[in-house]
Structures are given as C-alpha cells and as structure tokens.
C-alpha cells in the first residue's frame, strides 16, 4: 500500500510523466496520426468536420471505457456494457416519449437504475463467489433482450431538441459529449490518484485476499467499481441515444470489446491492479483514430479490416504490458 501511494504522488511530476507508460501511449498515438496524415487521407483526416466527429466518437467510447478500466483495475471485468448502453438509451427515450417525463428527471432515473445494476453485479460476485465473467455475461444477454422485448425491436424516437443537443450540439465549437468526457476523465483521474478509494481499487486488483486480510471492506470496493462502471455506461447510453435522436435496442453491439480494448491499450492489466484513467483516455483515442484511419485509407471493404487491425493492436498491447511487467 505504501509503494502504491508513492507511485500515485510521483505520477504528477514532469520527470515521472516522461518515463511513464502514458507517455509511450501518447507517442504511439502521435505516430499513428502522423502515419495517417502522410497517406492520401491527409486532407480528409484533417478536415474540421472529421475531427469533430472523431472527437465525439472518442468521447462516447471513452466515457464507458473509463468505467470499464475501474473494474479491470479492481481485478474484475464487465461484459454487460454494450447491452447496458442499449438498455439505458431505450429507457431514457421511453420515459420522455411515452411517459412524458422531463429530460433531467429521465436522465437521472436512468443513471440511478444503471448504477443499481452495477451494484447488483458486485453483490452477486462477492456474496455468491460467482465469476465476474459469468455475472456480467448474463446481464449482457438479459439487458438487450429486455430492451428488444419492451420496444418490439423498434427504435424509440424522441422529438426534443434539448435531448438532441446532448449528442449533437456544440459549445464554443466543442461537441457536447467531449465536455462530458473531459469531466468524467478528470473526476476519474482524481478518484484514482487522490482518494483512498483509488488506492483500495488498486489493492483489490493486486491481491484480493491480502486486501481482505488488511481489513478493507471488499464488498464496498466492488460496489464502487461496478456501480461507477454501470453509471458511466448509462451516461454513455443516454448520449448515444441523444446522438441518434432515438433509443435503439440494437445499439452497442460488441461495445464491451471496444471498452476492454481501450483499457488494455491504455495499460490496464487484465489480471488487475494496474492501469490509469489517463492511459484509458489515450487508449480510446488510439482505438478511434485507428478506426477512423481505416475508413479513410482503405476505401473498399474498410469495415472488414477493422477487426483484424484492432485485434492485432490489442494483442500487441497485451504483449507489451506483459513484457513490461516481467522487466520489473
């Protein structure tokens, strides 16, 4: 625990930042951007509209990727985030379109419900000693099925400009989801670096039994990790629905893999106890820049190459993290 605190305090110095994993990830992001610019896609990539759309997509992914990172750092995994995005978006739309709830009340209700789902995950995992993979995989199936059944597999349109603004609006030229993302990233980084909760999450992921013997309330820490993950995923679901101007029960398919990929690329270890929010933010940037570059460079059947390239990047990131740990 003492060593972890020293690492957290030193993480703010310029010298430590230059030697950090995050600096390496940032340099990798810079190299990828320079490569795209050096190709025939330079003009399309640097077009203001493309950069705005790219920043919006980074923000939407990054919001729930940060939540996924908290769970991974704590030694768990959450496979339900893709389905929860669809579920929360659909129910936010239903509350406004069918029940006439005000915008803010609908969002708060959805966020509360999403956080509750995460708390239930933590309770099932801790009290019944169930694997996180099994619990969240069950939620992945159930939440999407509930959304499909409730809407008869049809989207739920919302005719409310204030709602559309959350996903498509701009403030001083900055897409609104980016502002949410900056707030989430800042609060998440502060939580992990400056509060006891952050140290507890690292301790839990590093060695759960040791954390338990040291007197930490394991169930409470897991509730925080899974609750925050689902809360942020619910927020992302609302923003995706606002971006699409409707709740879509089929949205978010395989987004859990993107969230895990962003966290892993950002330096999170799937065995727990390692990773940062800042690294995850950079991982989300790398993942979306690669996807954007694929579509600009490979114009024919670009979507068919996405899985190959992104999968290769994830495997390389895991290999790099493993080699880094072995050198310590």
Domain ranges of the chain: 2-6+49-252+270-276
299: confidence class by pLDDT, cuts 50, 70, 90: confident
The counts of H helices and E strands in the chain are 16, 4
Predicted model pTM: 0.93
Share of the chain above pLDDT 70, in %: 94
Report the pLDDT value the prediction gives residue 229, as an integer from 0 to 100. Answer: 98
Report the pLDDT value the prediction gives residue 64, as an integer from 0 to 100. Answer: 98
For residue 223, give both structure tokens: 């509730």
Alpha-carbon separation of residue 200 from 122, 124, 158, 186, 292 (angstroms): 15, 20, 41, 19, 37
Q: Are 106 and 234 in contact (CB under 8 A)?
A: no
Instruction: Tell the residue number behind the tokens 């978006």, with chain if given.
Output: 89
Q: Is the pLDDT confidence value at 2 over 80?
A: no
Q: Are 272 and 73 in contact (CB under 8 A)?
A: yes
Q: Which residue has the higher pLDDT, 328 or 243?
A: 243
What lies within 8 Å, CB to CB, of 258 at 6+ separation is: 61, 65, 287
pLDDT tens-place string over residues 127-181? 999 999 999 999 999 999 999 999 999 999 999 999 999 999 999 999 999 999 9
pLDDT tens-place string over residues 245-280? 999 999 999 899 999 999 999 999 999 999 999 999
């Amino acid at each position: 625990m003492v060593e972890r605190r020293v690492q957290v305090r030193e993480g703010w110095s310029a010298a430590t930042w230059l030697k950090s994993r995050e600096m390496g990830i940032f340099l990798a992001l810079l190299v990828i951007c320079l490569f795209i610019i050096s190709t025939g896609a330079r003009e399309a990539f640097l077009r203001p509209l493309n950069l705005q759309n790219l920043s919006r997509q980074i923000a939407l992914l990054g919001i729930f990727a940060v939540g996924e990172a908290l769970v991974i750092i704590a030694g768990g995994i959450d496979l339900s985030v893709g389905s929860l995005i669809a579920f929360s978006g659909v129910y936010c739309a239903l509350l406004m379109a069918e029940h006439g709830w005000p915008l803010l009340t609908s969002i708060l209700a959805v966020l509360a419900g999403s956080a509750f789902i995460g708390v239930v995950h933590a309770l099932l995992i801790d009290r019944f000693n169930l694997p996180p993979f099994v619990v969240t995989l069950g939620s992945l199936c159930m939440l999407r099925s509930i959304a499909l059944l409730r809407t008869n597999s049809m989207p739920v349109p919302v005719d409310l400009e204030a709602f559309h603004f959350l996903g498509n609006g701009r403030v001083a030229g900055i897409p609104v989801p980016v502002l949410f993302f900056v707030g989430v990233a800042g609060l998440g980084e502060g939580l992990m670096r400056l509060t006891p909760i952050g140290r507890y999450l690292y301790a839990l992921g590093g060695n759960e039994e040791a954390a338990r013997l040291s007197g930490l309330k394991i169930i409470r820490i897991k509730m925080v990790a899974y609750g925050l993950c689902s809360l942020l995923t619910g927020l992302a679901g609302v923003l995706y629905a606002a971006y699409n101007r409707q709740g879509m029960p089929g949205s978010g398919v395989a987004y859990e893999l993107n969230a895990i990929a962003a966290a892993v690329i950002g330096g999170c270890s799937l065995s727990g106890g390692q990773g940062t929010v800042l690294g995850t933010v950079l991982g989300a940037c790398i993942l979306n820049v690669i996807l954007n570059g694929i579509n600009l460079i490979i114009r024919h059947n670009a979507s068919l190459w996405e899985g190959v390239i992104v999968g290769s990047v994830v495997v390389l990131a895991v290999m790099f993290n493993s080699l880094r740990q072995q050198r310590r």
